[in-house]
């Protein structure tokens, strides 16, 4: 069965990884093309994050405290990254925050991949 959340989570990880790479290139170079690519990747990744949060929280089970706290902490990580870059501390902290965003997307993928009924998981 086709799962849109798995596709969106995988696409988010790919975009977060390319955004991390283009962000490091934008810091090193003075060209504006790398910065534009990085900004576009960031906007698209943020939209995917918001849509996944909406799909996840809009399930039949209702909205729980822990899922809301988890998605809010992810938003906090995104906003901290934006604050670090805009405050001029990108040379010192951007790579750490970028790696944190990639780890966040790995967690999102882990929680949204539907494995189905694989025989080796039923130990």
> How confident is the model over 7-64, as pLDDT tens digits?
788 888 888 888 878 777 777 776 677 778 888 888 888 888 888 888 877 776 767 7
Whole-number Cα distances in Å, 43 to 49, 64, 69, 92, 118: 10, 27, 22, 23, 36
Q: Which residue has the higher pLDDT, 2 or 123?
A: 2
What local confidence, expressed as pLDDT, does residue 102 receive?
83
pTM for this structure? 0.72
3-state secondary structure of 5: helix
Cα 113 to the chain's mean position, in Å? 15
Top-tier CATH class for 4-113: mainly alpha
The average confidence (pLDDT) of the chain is 76
What local confidence, expressed as pLDDT, does residue 119 receive?
35
46 Cβ contact partners less than 8 Å away, ≥ 6 residues apart:
78
């Amino acid at each position: 069965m086709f799962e849109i959340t798995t596709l969106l989570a995988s696409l988010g990880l790919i975009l977060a990884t390319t955004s991390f790479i283009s962000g490091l290139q934008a810091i090193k170079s003075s060209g504006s093309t790398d910065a534009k690519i990085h900004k576009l990747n960031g906007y698209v990744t943020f939209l995917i994050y918001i849509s996944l949060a909406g799909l996840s929280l809009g399930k039949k089970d209702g909205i729980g405290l822990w899922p809301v706290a988890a998605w809010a902490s992810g938003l906090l990580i995104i906003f901290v990254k934006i604050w670090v870059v805009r405050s001029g501390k990108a040379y010192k902290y951007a790579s750490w925050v970028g790696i944190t965003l990639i780890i966040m997307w790995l967690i999102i993928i882990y929680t949204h991949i539907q494995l189905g009924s694989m025989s080796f998981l039923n130990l």
